[in-house]
Chain A
């Protein structure tokens, strides 16, 4: 392994045609074609102007680089890159930036910070718990600036900013792992955004391109952790060894798990070296996929992991050639399985 790997800027392999063929028939809006900012999309005034376009002298131009989309008479250009645009139901990962009156501000990589209302989180004590003034006063004990959490987009305000909620056991504060960012357009929306990966690792692929890699929580984890540094939590910790409904799904589970533990900052004390190494490998694989501009899915990450096993030391995966070969391997094995899209 090189101590310092040095490369040179590469020449573009394909020759760029200097004269672009201008189509004679500019009245037609070309379907699904790529346009650049300032490019004429159509001079037919019947089209309605949507996002990513502007209108001058009865002609519609693109204001972003992206693909043209037509829905009935609405013409818009969907940008190739750009900030994340939240949509209701998205599973996102975010970082608290501000603690305000009855709400937290959360950075989710969008144009504006999202809002997480005090009423949209599970508070210690379970479902029957009512919010009180004391909760407002101790909001920093739940979530403070810098904390990472995963949440769902509950609704979108008229200005495009999002309101989040964490009212489910799968949402909440993140522990036992590392955070990384990729462009949000690389994350493909699917039914599920949290997966268990080979090697005792779990991942949350936020739709906003924020990713959390962590050790797969063991089912008996609850009993190992006693992160009690807070006075208020003492009363909830008093229940001792017996946990009703443990190992089965019960209606009271929310109540048990919504103890102060869900807001603990303490990591699992037994994260082994091999788990940490696997997390680092997955970190590099996701970076490699993002370098190759490949959409990031559970399957591709697992295929990338299998391809990366050929490298004795995953530290060499940060080199450009290795990243490109991982991407090629992923695409090849997709072709072999016949599920290339």
Chain B
């Protein structure tokens, strides 16, 4: 996307004002509204779809496999697919790296444990059907929703199998399947989230739109896990398809400020997502 110099300076001036005015009048902490559907793919353990009103759409599917825990490097594998981009392109690899490092660093792995030897391994596949702005936040929201709605079959064999050479046995009644969060009675299952924050002047803005991305001076990625800030935290140029002429260095204060801002608002995002899952109806309406 190319903006004309006049558009660019108008947008920059609006966003850099003491009291910032975003082009769609959103508050600095306000996300664009999303439409969400979970558990709609019949052949996967968990699934979620996130749509924005501008037509951006992300679908996430989670499948599971029983593995010998000792033989696996990680119990989660995340893959991102964006039509029109090679899997080894910078854009896709960067998104994939962020999601993988987020999930590997901040995930309640104990909830995947089956027996003393065996565990579930989760394969998370994200398809970005369409996007306008940097899609990382919405990918992580789709992963969060899919993980929360993931159902796994109920184990009926003995948990303690260190002595026996037996493979785990599952109930063949899918009605008995448990939510990933209810497995192993873990107190509360909260997958991690990534928030994308744009920096303009002394202002920070959550979820910059494609136009706003064009005038950002920098971008910060912050992760949220278990009610606190987590890693990865780093800065990034969100506008991948055009040069950001305003792109500058990042001052320490802005990083601190963005962490404070995330700390203030992320709990509400998690609350909104959890509420959306509770409100999901099983009416078969997908579109």
- Residues of A that sit less than 8 Å from B by CB: 1-11, 95, 145-148, 173-179, 265-267, 271, 273, 276-277, 279-281, 283-284, 287, 291, 313-315, 317-320
Chain A: minimal CB distance from B83 (Å): 22
- CB-based contact A7/B36 at 8 Å: yes
> Is B42 part of the binding interface, using a Cβ–Cβ cutoff of 8 Å?
no
Which residue, of B7, B32, B275, B286, has the highest number of chain A Cβ atoms within 10 A? B7
**Closest chain A residue, CB of each to CB of B14:** A276
> Is B85 part of the binding interface, using a Cβ–Cβ cutoff of 8 Å?
no
Binds A, one of B20-28, B164-172, B233-241: B20-28
B residues near A3, Cβ cutoff 8 Å: 29-31, 206, 265, 268-269, 272
Per a CB cutoff under 8 Å, which of B11, B272, B283 touches A2? Answer: B272
- CB-based contact B6/A148 at 8 Å: yes
Per a CB cutoff under 8 Å, which of A145, A266, A284 touches B6? Answer: A266
- CB-based contact B53/A318 at 8 Å: yes
Per a CB cutoff under 8 Å, which of B6, B37, B279 touches A175? Answer: B6
A265-B5, A314-B25 known, 11 other contacts, Cβ within 8 Å? A3-B30, A3-B31, A4-B30, A4-B269, A6-B33, A8-B280, A175-B10, A176-B10, A179-B7, A277-B21, A284-B24
- CB-based contact A318/B27 at 8 Å: no
Q: What are 14 A-B contacts with C-beta separation under 8 Å?
A: A2-B272, A3-B29, A6-B33, A7-B33, A8-B37, A10-B285, A11-B283, A147-B4, A271-B13, A276-B14, A277-B21, A280-B22, A315-B27, A320-B35
Tell me, in angstroms, the Cα distance from A9 to B50 when the chains sit together: 10
Tell me, in angstroms, the Cα distance from A315 to B280 when the chains sit together: 26
> Is B129 part of the binding interface, using a Cβ–Cβ cutoff of 8 Å?
no
Tell me, in angstroms, the Cα distance from A266 to B283 when the chains sit together: 54
> Is B159 part of the binding interface, using a Cβ–Cβ cutoff of 8 Å?
no
A residues near B280, Cβ cutoff 8 Å: 8
B residues near A145, Cβ cutoff 8 Å: 2
Tell me, in angstroms, the Cα distance from A204 to B68 when the chains sit together: 65
Tell me, in angstroms, the Cα distance from A7 to B34 when the chains sit together: 6
Per a CB cutoff under 8 Å, which of A6, A148, A313, A319 touches B7? Answer: A148
